[in-house]
């Protein structure tokens, strides 16, 4: 009966039942029909004491190949960046992590200010006017961006590049089906969106062109060339981006994007089998009141002190119900805090330096791959920290991955899974965590595994 999280003693129970005027707990459940009552004990996993639970969880964890024991060259949307140690100390403060959404601003200024600073960081990095408090992840943020574009333009067609993350495209499609929107895919050419085909597809019916830059292949899209194609037809340009690239790459805002989304995972968030990460969502000023999700604004209290509140709530589900701009309620606030602490830690010079380390090491690695007789780079387009390597014809990537794993490496992503025409192509990510010797040895080992 006793449990460390439940304080009720037998005496408490007796006292409380007396106040209520009942003689058994059962009387509190009389309103549940007997026919739907569960008669016995549910056949679920059994309880474990604290030590046994720790041991069990450790055993499960140890069955996984993690990035500390293995050297990872896997990216494809989630990256093995260094996580500054201060981040875990900050997000472990339970005033942050055990709080609910800041509905009572007078006792939630800490969270509200942290979100306000997160919004400020996202605006500064993306070059956009307004950002929200976060979305579930980059992929669902992209789907919401498509929905926003349709609402803003009163058009039903989304054109999305095949060089956008395959899972994000799938979610855009699921979301579009719900909203009865059409999704048209535009192919890629030489690793980037095919601009001729895009030009031919875009029309007065197009709500948005959706691209990712750097795209799924790691290649940087020519946003300057894409922007006029859609804006000349009065549709919106939606750009998904990896925010760590914005330490060096031109902001999508400056290049004409109307909506910029992405995943802040590179900013100090564990890969954690893909979640929880942190989607971000930023828009140009005219789209502000169409944004999904929570938004924090600055204001004053009755004494004139600066303070922060949830604002523009007339967009949201708890006010607007079926007329809301989105159904999102919970977001990823604690991960937005991770990203904010990361950016506070890196600061103006750190975000440039870490981006440069990624660019330099990835290009060094690409150069080493290109020198191997059996390996080649698939695309020539400019890239950031990820590129595509073509293995020799007939190479079995599953076998290669298994052999790499045996040698202590987590290999790159098998592009053949999502792109039938790219069988035998591996997407390789190189972050600042990879050393020259790890890169050299990985390339050698990969050749040896063929």
Partner 1 sequence: MKPDKKLIFELSKPGRVAYSLPELDVPEVNLGELIPESMLRSQPAELPEVYEVDVIRHYTELSRRNFGIDNGFYPLGSCTMKYNPKINEDVARFTGFAKIHPYQPEQSIQGALELLYTLQNDLATLTGMDQVTLQPAAGAHGEWTGLMMIRAYHESRGETRTKVIVPDSSHGTNPASATVAGLETITIQSDDKGLVDLDALRAVVGPDTAALMLTNPSTLGLFEEHIVEIAEIVHEAGGLIYYDGANSNAIMGITRPGDMGFDVVHLNLHKTMSTPHGGGGPGSGPVGVKSKLIPFLPKPIVAKKEDGTYGLNYDRPESIGRVKAYYGNFGILVRAYAYIRTYGPEGLRQVSECAVLNANYMMHRLAPYYEIPYPGVCKHEFVMSGRGLKQYGVRTLDVAKRLLDFGFHPPTIYFPLNVEECMMIEPTETESKETLDSFIDTMIQIAQEAEQNPELLLNAPHNTDVRRLDETQAARKPVLNCACN
| Identified binder of partner 1 from the candidate list 183, 189, 205, 353, rule CB under 8 A | 353
C-alpha span between 224 and 222 (Å, rounded): 5
Should residue 196 be labelled a site residue for partner 1 when binding is judged by CB under 8 A? Answer: no
* Site for partner 1 contains 107 (CB under 8 A): yes
Cβ 437 to partner 1 shortest distance, Å: 8
In the range 145-164, which residues lie near partner 1 by CB under 8 A? Answer: 147
As given in the structure block, the two tokens for residue 52 are: 């046994």
Which positions from 306 through 325 interact with partner 1, judged by CB under 8 A? 306-309, 311-314, 316-324
258: helix, strand or coil:
coil
Tokens encoding 114: 């942290």
- Residue 384: CB atoms within 10 A of its CB come to 22
Contact 147, 370 (CB under 8 A): no
Residue whose CB is less far from partner 1, 233 or 403: 403
Specify the residue, 84 or 233, whose C-beta has the smaller distance to partner 1.
Answer: 84
Contact, 362 vs 355, CB < 8 A?
no
Residue 420 contacts partner 1 per CB under 8 A: no
Binding residues for partner 1, rule CB under 8 A, total 209
Give yes or no for residue 178 binding partner 1 (CB under 8 A): yes
- Nearest approach, Cβ of 263 to partner 1 (angstroms)? 8
**Least separation in angstroms between CB 408 and partner 1:** 11
Query: What is the distance of C-alpha 384 from the center of its chain?
Result: 18
404-407: long-range contacts (C-beta < 8 A, 24 or more apart)? 404/445, 404/446, 404/449, 405/65, 405/70, 407/445, 407/449
Question: Could you say which of 267, 384, 419, 442 contacts partner 1 (CB under 8 A)?
Answer: 384
Query: Pick from 194, 197, 205, 250: which binds partner 1 (CB under 8 A)?
Result: 250
Report which of 201, 189, 259, 251 is spatially closest to residue 230, judged by C-alpha positions: 201
Q: How far is the CB of 133 from partner 1 (least distance, A)?
A: 7
Given 71, 241, 251, 385, the residue binding partner 1 (CB under 8 A):
251
Among 284, 351, 375, 389, binds partner 1 (CB under 8 A): 351
Enumerate residues 6+ apart whose C-beta is below 8 A from 269: 83, 276, 277, 278, 335, 338, 339
> Which of positions 200-219 make contact with partner 1 (CB under 8 A)?
none
**Least distance between partner 1 and beta carbon 347 (Å):** 5
Among the listed residues 10, 154, 196, 349, the single contact to partner 1 using CB under 8 A: 349
From residue 85, alpha-carbon distances to 58, 81, 168, 340, 341 in Å are 22, 12, 30, 14, 10
Residues 398/361, Cβ–Cβ less than 8 Å: no
Q: How many CB atoms lie within 10 A of CB 448?
A: 10
Contact (Cβ atoms closer than 8 angstroms) between residue 331 and residue 115 = no
The answer to whether 228 contacts partner 1 (rule: CB under 8 A) is: no
Judged by CB under 8 A, which stretch of 62-70, 185-193, 195-203, 228-236 contacts partner 1?
Answer: 62-70
Q: Please check whether residue 119 is in contact with residue 131, taking contact to mean a CB–CB distance below 8 angstroms.
A: yes
Is 47 a binding residue for partner 1 by CB under 8 A? The answer is: yes
- Least gap, CB of 242 to partner 1 (angstroms): 13
Give the range of 156-164, 202-210, 226-234, 305-313 binding partner 1 by CB under 8 A: 305-313
């Amino acid at each position: 009966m006793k449990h460390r999280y439940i304080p009720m003693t037998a005496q408490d129970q007796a006292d409380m039942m007396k106040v209520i005027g009942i003689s058994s707990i059962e009387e509190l459940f009389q309103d549940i029909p007997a026919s739907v009552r569960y008669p016995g004990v549910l056949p679920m996993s059994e309880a474990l004491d604290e030590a046994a639970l720790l041991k069990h969880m450790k055993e499960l964890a140890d069955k996984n190949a993690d990035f500390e024991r293995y050297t990872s060259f896997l990216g494809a949307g989630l990256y093995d960046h260094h996580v500054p140690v201060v981040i875990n100390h900050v997000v472990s403060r339970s005033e942050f992590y055990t709080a609910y959404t800041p509905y009572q601003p007078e006792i939630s200024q800490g969270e509200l200010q942290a979100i306000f600073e997160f919004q400020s960081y996202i605006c500064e990095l993306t070059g956009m006017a307004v950002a929200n408090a976060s979305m579930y992840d980059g992929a669902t943020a992209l789907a919401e961006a498509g929905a926003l574009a349709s609402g803003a333009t009163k058009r039903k067609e989304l054109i999305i590049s095949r060089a956008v993350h395959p899972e994000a495209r799938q979610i855009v499609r699921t979301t579009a089906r719900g909203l009865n929107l059409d999704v048209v895919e535009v192919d890629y050419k030489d690793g980037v969106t095919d601009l001729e085909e895009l030009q031919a597809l875009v029309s007065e019916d197009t709500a948005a062109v959706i691209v990712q830059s750097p795209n799924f292949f790691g290649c940087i899209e020519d946003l300057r060339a894409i922007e006029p194609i859609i804006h000349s037809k009065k549709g919106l340009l939606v750009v998904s981006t990896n925010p760590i690239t914005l330490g060096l790459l031109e902001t999508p805002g400056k290049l004409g994007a109307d909506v910029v989304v992405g995943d802040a995972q590179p900013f100090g968030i564990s890969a954690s089998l893909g979640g929880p990460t942190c989607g971000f969502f930023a828009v140009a000023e005219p789209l502000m009141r169409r944004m999904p999700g929570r938004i924090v604004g600055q204001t004053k209290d009755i004494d004139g002190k600066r303070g922060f509140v949830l604002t523009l709530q007339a967009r949201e589900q708890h006010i607007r119900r079926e007329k809301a701009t989105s159904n999102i309620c919970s977001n990823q606030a604690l991960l937005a805090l991770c990203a904010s602490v990361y950016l506070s830690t890196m600061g103006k010079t750190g975000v440039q330096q870490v981006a440069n380390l990624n660019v330099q090491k990835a290009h060094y690695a690409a150069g080493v791959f290109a020198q191997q007789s059996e390996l080649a780079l698939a695309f020539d387009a400019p890239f950031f920290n990820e590129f595509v390597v073509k293995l020799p014809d007939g190479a079995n990537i599953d076998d290669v991955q298994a052999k790499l794993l045996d040698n202590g490496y987590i290999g790159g992503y098998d592009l053949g899974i999502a792109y039938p025409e790219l069988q035998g192509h591996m997407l390789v990510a190189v972050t600042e965590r990879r050393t020259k010797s790890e890169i050299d040895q990985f390339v050698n080992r990969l050749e040896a595994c063929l």
